[in-house]
Amino acid sequence: MSFQVMMGQLAEGMLTTCQIFVLTLLFSLPLGLVISFGRMSKNGLVRGIAKIYISIMRGTPLMLQLLVVYFGPYYIFRIGITSSYRAYAVIIAFAINYAAYFAEIYRGGIESMPKGQYEAAKVLGYTKAQTFFKIIFPQVIKRILPSVTNEVITLVKDTSLAFSIAYVEMFTTAKAIAASQKSMVPLMAAGIFYYVFNFVVAMLMELWEKKLGYYS
């Protein structure tokens, strides 16, 4: 296999890895906010369900969750598993897993806000929704950004776990090429990609954090 062919195959895997990354964030960030509301709900049942959900998602391995989401429909409901479902299973498992972590990050940021801001907004005639999204949430974002950055960086590396259900992303491709060619070059190329990807993500998050700092 020529170097060009190998890099072409790795590039396809890189695109899949980027797809997992982007779609996971697209679904897990808003879902995490919804779960954080449940976690802080005054309704004991809702709060309890959210707490159990977060505990399970954070207390079990992501690889196990991938296997459950992928094989669960067949073993539980006897629903046939198609090859196209593999991609959906990856995104579903990653999204529900990371939503639990983001939920706790959101909760910590929201609960750290002074109660006086809510009271001042009420005096000014803001509704609860307006108070949260116009006053509280922008400040919460600034406070939780370092924690979110850590999770996002972890997500880049966790995308390699998709191999557990034979979903072909970059790590799976690199491993297969390395085995067939008896070479470490594909694995080294994969390592460089993960490092560069993480470096770019960290840099962008740092720039965003500095930009938000101007509005302190």
What average pLDDT score do residues 176-180 get? 85
pLDDT tens readout for residues 87-109: 999 999 999 999 999 999 999 99
Determine the pLDDT at residue 118.
85
Residue 214 has pLDDT above 60, yes or no: no
5 — alpha (psi -120 to 50), left (phi > 0) or beta? alpha
Tokens of 14: 């890189």
Mean pLDDT of the chain: 89
Model confidence at 121, pLDDT cuts 50, 70, 90, reads: confident
Across 78-92, 93-107, 173-187, 191-205, the highest mean pLDDT is recorded for 93-107
pTM (2 decimals)? 0.89
Q: Measured between alpha carbons, how far is 187 from 55 in angstroms, rounded to an integer? A: 34
Determine the pLDDT at residue 49.
96
Please answer whether residues 42 and 198 qualify as being in contact, where contact means their C-beta atoms are separated by less than 8 angstroms.
Answer: no
pLDDT tens readout for residues 26-54: 999 999 999 999 999 999 999 999 999 99
Determine the pLDDT at residue 1.
64
Determine the pLDDT at residue 96.
97
Model confidence at 135, pLDDT cuts 50, 70, 90, reads: confident
Q: Give the type of residue at 168.
A: V
What average pLDDT score do residues 67-90 get? 88
What average pLDDT score do residues 2-6 get? 76
Model confidence at 215, pLDDT cuts 50, 70, 90, reads: very low
Q: Measured between alpha carbons, how far is 23 from 92 in angstroms, rounded to an integer? A: 9
Tokens 């995490």, residue located: 32
Tokens 């001042």, residue located: 120
Transcribe the chain into DSSP letters: --HHHHHHHHHHHHHHHHHHHHHHHHHHHHHHHHHHHHHT-SSHHHHHHHHHHHHHHHHS-HHHHHHHHHHHHHHHH-PPPPTTHHHHHHHHHHHHHHHHHHHHHHHHHHHTS-HHHHHHHHHTT--HHHIIIIIIHHHHHHHHHHHHHHHHHHHHHHGGGGGGGT---HHHHHHHHHHHHT-SHHHHHHHHHHHHHHHHHHHHHHHHHHHHHTT-
Domains, the chain, ranges and CATH?
A: 3-213 (1.10.3720.10)
